[in-house]
């Protein structure tokens, strides 16, 4: 099948002027022009042309509609002022994805390439990383990969990849990649979870830090009783009196051990010296994966009342 030629600007204007007579042909002409000249057009010109195509009344979903999504993802990279989320809502993301858009593609070279859905969800993650203030505060039905912002705890930092590892109180593990808002290990942060359909990789878009005390209360500390203290070896035994929220990530152990170094007062100062057997404490607790590939209790701090 012979590939349609890219119209000149004058040919495109003529097509737009006669749009009512052949709307589909005009939309394809405008798409081909935009796709071919994306690097040359100004942001305003590209956005205006894209908006013009979107206003042409054509059935959705369609191949043309999918092509527009593809070119919009390129625009998000090319033009910092392009509002990708606004476009996706206008486009009707998710409900207007075709079956082909959700499937990985095999090229002429035999290699497997990301589906249009995968590309869109990666673009959303990248866009929100650069524009965290645009994270929706309420669910958006057209953007199911973006969850409502929640509180998380910054567990660790991978300097080699510029990854921040964040856990929520359901023990779900998220990764913030090169965030604009740079947290510190041990911070509580508000973040938007990005959870693509069918993917195990969960991204975090860090929005802002949270006050430590407010973060602890929102995260929900777990009540426990000290069952033994071994000061020589530097550890305590504990028994959970309550459990964190139920999670699909694994099972909490009711009894366990923790380092005395984790015991602090409400101001974060070491407080193991006054700790006694039978004392009730509160723990910042979630599950992390061990060397046995299973998830176990992980305690970040043990708080004692003053």
pLDDT along the chain (306 residues), means of 10: 76 91 94 94 96 94 96 96 96 94 84 91 93 92 92 97 96 95 95 85 93 92 96 96 87 95 92 94 94 93 87
Distance of CA 272 to the CA centre of its chain: 38
Say how many C-beta atoms besides its own lie within 10 A of residue 270's C-beta.
Answer: 11
Tens digits of residue pLDDT in 248-293:
999 999 999 999 999 999 888 999 998 999 999 999 999 999 999 8
E strands within 52-200? Answer: 105-106, 112-113, 150-158, 163-167, 173-177, 188-194
Q: What pLDDT is recorded for position 197?
A: 78
Say how many C-beta atoms besides its own lie within 10 A of residue 36's C-beta.
Answer: 12
pTM of the model: 0.85
Tens digits of residue pLDDT in 6-37:
999 999 999 999 888 899 999 999 999 999 99
What is d(CA 196, CA 128) in angstroms, rounded to the nearest whole number?
14
What is d(CA 136, CA 83) in angstroms, rounded to the nearest whole number?
13
DSSP 277: T
Place of tokens 């509580």: 188
């Amino acid at each position: 099948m012979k590939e349609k030629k890219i119209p000149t600007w004058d040919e495109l204007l003529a097509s737009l002027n006669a749009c009512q007579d052949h709307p589909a042909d005009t939309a394809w002409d405008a798409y081909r022009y935009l796709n071919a000249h994306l690097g040359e057009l100004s942001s305003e010109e590209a956005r205006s042309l894209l908006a013009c195509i979107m206003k042409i009344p054509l059935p959705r979903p369609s191949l043309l509609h999918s092509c527009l999504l593809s070119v919009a993802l390129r625009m998000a990279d090319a033009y910092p002022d392009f509002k990708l989320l606004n476009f996706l809502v206008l486009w009707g993301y998710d409900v207007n994805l075709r079956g082909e858009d959700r499937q990985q593609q095999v090229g002429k070279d035999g290699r497997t390439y990301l589906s249009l859905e995968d590309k869109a969800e990666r673009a959303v993650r990248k866009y929100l990383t650069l524009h965290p203030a645009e994270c929706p505060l309420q669910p958006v039905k057209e953007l199911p990969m973006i969850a409502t912002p929640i509180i998380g705890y910054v567990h660790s930092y991978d300097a080699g990849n510029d990854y921040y590892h964040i856990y929520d109180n359901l023990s779900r593990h998220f990764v913030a990649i090169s965030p604009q808002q740079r947290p510190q290990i041990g911070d509580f942060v508000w973040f938007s979870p990005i959870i693509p359909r069918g993917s195990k990789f969960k991204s975090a878009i860090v929005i802002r830090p949270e006050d430590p005390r407010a973060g602890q209360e929102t995260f929900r500390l777990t009540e426990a009783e000290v069952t033994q203290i071994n000061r020589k070896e530097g550890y305590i035994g504990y028994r959970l009196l309550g459990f964190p929220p139920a999670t699909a990530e694994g099972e909490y152990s009711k009894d366990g051990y923790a380092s005395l170094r984790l015991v602090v007062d409400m101001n974060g100062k070491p407080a193991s010296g006054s700790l006694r057997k039978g004392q009730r404490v509160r723990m910042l607790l979630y599950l992390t994966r061990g060397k046995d590939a299973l998830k176990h209790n992980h305690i970040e701090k043990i708080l004692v009342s003053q």
